[in-house]
Structure 1
Amino acid sequence: MVSALSHNLPATLSAGAAALAYAVLAGAHTRLTPASARQVMLLAWGLHLLTLVLSLFATPARFGFAPALSVTGWLVLTVYLIESRLYPQLKARWTLAVLGTLVVLLALVFPGAPYPALGSAWLPLHWALGIASYGLIATAVAHAWLMQRAERAMRAGLSTEADMPLLTLERLTFRFVGAGFVVLGATLLAGWWFSEGLVHRWVWNHKTVFSVLAWLTMGVLLLGRWRLGWRGRTAVRTLYLGAGFLLLGYAGSRFVLEVLLQRA
């Protein structure tokens, strides 16, 4: 672990700067003006991106559960930066700053293992789709959490006109669920098509099983929304269940191998 960090000193320094920027935003967000807070967030976002580039395109490239979570966190932050321009009422800056700090530091401590030799030149497409599905479903989870928070505030009589409308949050949540369902399905299809030796067969390991369970759960959620009008707690709990399966699919399996079993 230490040798991996010292081997890629630029990525280590960039990660430290990104974590510091996120921590400053989390600690001082109530004292910063909206413009200043956005500038700090953009700085942290840029440093986070630089860290990912320096880490993923190093020689040898390394990846694992913590870098996967780091990329996912960066994707969620990217969506938030775009959405906050369209919906100024969207308020999750402190939570995302804390999340950014944690995932950057986690990837700094657990940089993962070197990539194995590629069985197919198309395998990076499978990995890219997988990370995109992680990002989309994580974004859906973030919106579901905001939706629950808005609902509690409304029930307690604490909501104001400046808050994000509950129906808008619900609509955004299911848009990301739908996009995540499609991309995850494409990930599974690509994993089958570009499997070992290009023999087009399923490799039934923990990652595949949990990923299929996640895809089926998201499908049930979308079907329940369409046919039964699922919303509120039922929808959110089903989303959390599917996201939990997806988390166990790659990040959970790699965590067990890298941290608990000490195997690459």
Structure 2
Amino acid sequence: MTLLPALTSNPPAALLSAVAALAYAFLAWAHPRLSERQTRNVLATAWVLHLVVLGTALMETPARFGFAPALSVTAWLVLTVYLIESRMYPQLKARWTLAVLGTLAVLLALFFPGSQYHALPSSWMPLHWALGIASYGLIAAAVVHAWLMQRADKAMRMGDTGDTAMPLLTLERLTFRFVAAGFVLLTATLLVGAWFSELLNQRWVWNHKTAFSALAWLTMGVLLLGRWRLGWRGRVAIRMLYLGAGFLLLGYAGSRFVLEVVLQRAG
């Protein structure tokens, strides 16, 4: 797979992706000089453009999917969560980081649009993908909140907190809510994957994707159990979350990156 066909096979979609990436990049560059309302409007515009990019990709024939589109959808879901939460919690400040994330995600999907699927092996495959990406998005949102927790905790220790700072306990509560929701969807993803494997009369294959996904599920389960039974919080909980999210990233995006970019193989 070369980069040139990915950019020239659908010029309008490529142009739209470039505009969406530029909108995110503009926000990352200009947000210190923009008013609160202007920043919110630019972010909303970039979010809408990103959504149109994703919708255009879904309508392509044959369908494409891979590690970069998965990360692009994940980034869009994280931004969706942020846009909703920032309405309820105006103190939530992560726009520069999320703008950079959006820029990189859109550009990555532009250069690496994924493999073509002329025929899906099972009608359950889209559900499996949807559940997996949703779990990616929720756990990525938990990671962002955990990072904000660390930042708030550091500021509090240095006596650098202000009246507009997000309460640490609120961030912690939101983090574990996203972890719990992501764990539920990850469980459903694995169950649906096992189900349509049975429908196709295929045995459960312990490849890299399955192994890392199972490790992510186990790590998140232990984290939630430790939180419930032992009251885990702070650095221990955050490190467990980062570990589980790392396993999940390696489970699909990592294995697909190796196939599509390193080995240049489809499927």
Tell me which interval the TM-score lies in, with the shorter structure as reference length: over 0.9
- Say whether 1:207 aligns with 2:209: yes
Using structure 2 for the length normalisation, give the TM-score.
0.96
* TM-fit CA distance, 1:86: 0.5
1:145 to 147, 162, 169: 147
* TM-fit CA distance, 1:204: 1.7
Distance 2:73 2:212 in 1: 20
CA RMSD in angstroms, aligned pairs only: 1.1
Counterpart contact for 2:6–2:110, Cα < 8 Å: no
Partner of residue 224, structure 2: 222
Distance 1:258 1:59 in 2: 19
Counterpart contact for 2:62–2:118, Cα < 8 Å: no
Whichever residue aligns with residue 156 of structure 1, its letter is: M
Partner of residue 111, structure 1: 113
- Say whether 1:48 aligns with 2:31: no
Whichever residue aligns with residue 253 of structure 1, its letter is: S
Secondary structure of 1:195's match? helix
1:165 to 164, 167, 175: 167
Partner of residue 120, structure 1: 122
Deviations 1:27-55 (A, max 9, x none): 00011111110110011001111111111
1:177 to 166, 176, 179: 179
**Residue range with higher mean Cα deviation, 245-254 or 61-70:** 61-70
Partner of residue 133, structure 1: 135
- Structure 1 residue runs of 5 or longer lacking an equivalent are none
Distance 1:235 1:201 in 2: 35
* TM-fit CA distance, 1:150: 0.3
Partner of residue 101, structure 2: 99
- Structure 2 residue runs of 5 or longer lacking an equivalent are none
Deviations 1:48-107 (A, max 9, x none): 111111112211221111111111000000000000001000000010001100111111
Distance 1:156 1:115 in 2: 53
**Residue range with higher mean Cα deviation, 149-158 or 110-119:** 110-119
Distance 1:97 1:254 in 2: 25
Using structure 1 for the length normalisation, give the TM-score.
0.97
* TM-fit CA distance, 1:3: 1.6
Mapping for residues 21-40 of structure 1, pairs under 5 Å: 21-40=23-42
Distance 2:235 2:25 in 1: 32
Secondary structure of 1:62's match? strand
* TM-fit CA distance, 1:196: 6.3
